[in-house]
Chain A
Amino acid sequence: MISLAGYEKVILPDIPNLNQIAVYEKHGGYEGLKKAVSLSQDDVINEVKKSGLRGRGGAGFPTGLKWSFMPKGDKVRYLACNGDEGEPGTFKDRQIFEFNPHLFIEGTLIACYAMGIKTAYVYIRGEYVKWINILQASLDEAYAKGYVGQNILGKGFNTDIVIHRGAGAYICGEESSLMNSLEGKRPYPRIKPPFPAQVGLWGQPTTINNIETLANAAVILRKGADWYSKIGAEKHPGPVLYGISGHVNKPGVYEGPTGMSLKELIYDVAGGIKNGKKLKAVIPGGSSTPILTPESVEKATMDADGLRAVGTSMGTAGIIVMDEDTDLVEALHILSKFYHHESCGQCTPCREGTGWLEKIVGKFAAGTATQQDYDLLLKICANMEGRTVCALADAAAWPVRNTITRFKEEFEARMIENKNKAGWDYSMKAVSGV
């Protein structure tokens, strides 16, 4: 069994002032970049492929494979580093900016070297002013030391890194919306194909990676793919930042190997459920991932296969824990409201569907829903899933479908026909007993 015992932290190690370049260098910093530039571009991509790294932004796409999609030749091409971090329950990339910004910068440079990219844009959500400033200071240091800019490490390789501040729109975390946002357009997601590796930023080949993914790339080059691929789950290896929030005694971001048991994370790492309460439900990977019952939590391991086996996915590894007093109807209402608010409105099934989901889940919250409403929710979900330009519609539908089916009794209890039996306090509108 994979466990935290004996695990050595590499993304967020306990080293004070690691954000300062001298400290970072003393602890092996920029060695991965030096290694990378001593290899051919293809060898760097192969090393990342061999490591087994999969994207940490939500979709879990194999990173080396993504890099290999970039066409060869001397076309101008771009890297977009995704630090939009808007998925509810996700708060990990900001830890990298704050505690190990150079690891991210180093990974970005390695990606740029491997793909022949001369400009990387770091898209950071607009609220993160503090973290933008921290990253900018580290970036200035890295420029001053010759790791970023012209003729890096004397190897004739040039890359600039530019920070771009978002302005409060969850959809901009979706990669094609992010590109339109960077281009100064209204940030509507783009229809695929063409894929970004063919037609991306300003019409040029582009790769989009999450901040944590790029930090991992630096670790891979420093320590080697063989070392890396032995960490955690065999088919979904590496270190991962678990963000644990909700009703636990010690919420926070914890680094560990992939494949840890969800139980160990909740009960040991995060100190168990607050106030000695019982567990009701867990959302394992950010708000879009299907919710789990306590029986599934018992079995789940935090990797692609382990979570697929219990009908959910890894997403951003943002684990939201809910105790026995949680009102799941109200919790779902919050999420449905969020997706409705954040839909860009471009596709009819999403624009209309997210509105209907919010409204009907709201009827359950208010105690005015019927069996017909329950059936209607499932129908609306079916009409949204897989029918839109981007995955926001799916991200809105999955929590509804899975919460109302996996916790059916709780929704049934809120139907008009069962109202008298249930004894809910409809005036309270609090999500939990806290």
Chain B
Amino acid sequence: MFSFTKENLQRIEAEKKKYPTVESAVMPVLWIAQEQNGNWLSEAAIKATADVLDLSPAHVIGVASFYTMYNKQPVGKYHLQVCSNISCSLLGAKKLIHHLENKLAITHGETTQDGLYTFSEVECLGSCGTAPAMQINDDYHENLTIEKMDELLKGLEK
């Protein structure tokens, strides 16, 4: 089951007012749905999004599935998104990824058994000048080294 909270329904009304058509609010409403649903979009969350916008669920799925940041399955408490594109790879991103995969025993798209971490290899984050870079949920971490990454993970466990 999923239904928008009263507060989120208000936010949705505000989003709708920003565009000349209701359909255009689908992305902001999907963001709100994902946030309320614990960082992923369940079928019920998609259905609720479609309902508040008077769209077909198929249309909403069509939109959501196009974008990598709408999570179609549950993700861990910490979503580790490491850039493996060119500038980061020039400065050792592949080694970082290798280290992380070994340490957590998961690969791209997987979540640890305790539900703490999901690891994703992502495309350029716009941090090429402070490479290698990663996001943990919405936060950027840059100029990474293996040591710095270990420190970051340690900080999270507490």
Contacts and interface: CB of A to CB of B under 8 A. Distances in A.
B20 A202 contact: yes
Given A87-B124, A88-B123, A168-B67, A434 B90 contact: yes
Contacts of B19: 162, 182, 184
Interface string B115-158: 00000001111111111000100111000000000000000000
Given A88-B86, A162-B18, A167-B70, A181 B27 contact: yes
A338 interface: yes
A432 B127 CA distance: 19
A434 B91 contact: yes
A94 B140 CA distance: 13
Contacts of B23: 183-185
Contacts of A221: none
Contacts of A246: 86-87, 90-91, 128, 131
Nearest to B133: A91
Contacts of B92: 430, 432, 434
Contacts of A406: none
Interface string A178-218: 00011111110000000000000010000000000000000
Given A86-B124, A243-B129, A251-B131, A334 B18 contact: no
A9 to B, nearest CB: 17
Interface stretch (A120-128, A261-269, A303-311): A120-128
Contacts, number: 151
A381 interface: no
Interface in A235-262: 243-247, 251-253
A167 B91 contact: no
A431 interface: yes
A184 B31 CA distance: 13
Given A129-B138, A168-B69, A169-B68, A334 B131 contact: no
Interface in B77-102: 84-87, 89-92, 94-95
Interface residues of B, number: 43
Contacts of B139: 130
Interface string A97-136: 0000000000000000000000000000111111000000
B128 A202 contact: no
Contact of A167 (B25, B69, B123, B135): B69
B126 A90 contact: yes
Interface residues of A, number: 58
Contacts of B94: 429-431
Nearest to B55: A184
With a 10 A CB-CB cut-off, give which of B27, B69, B87, B130 has the most chain A CB atoms. Answer: B87
Contact of A88 (B18, B31, B87, B140): B87
B90 to A, nearest CB: 5
Given A88-B85, A334-B89, A430-B94, A127 B66 contact: no
A167 B86 contact: no
Given A184-B27, A331-B89, 6 more contacts: A85-B126, A127-B126, A168-B67, A169-B67, A186-B62, A320-B87
15 contacts: A89-B86, A89-B124, A90-B126, A128-B126, A165-B27, A165-B28, A166-B27, A202-B24, A243-B128, A247-B90, A247-B91, A331-B90, A338-B124, A342-B123, A430-B95
What 9 pairs between A and B have smallest CB-CB spacing?
A: A168-B69, A167-B67, A245-B128, A168-B68, A245-B87, A184-B26, A88-B124, A184-B23, A129-B138
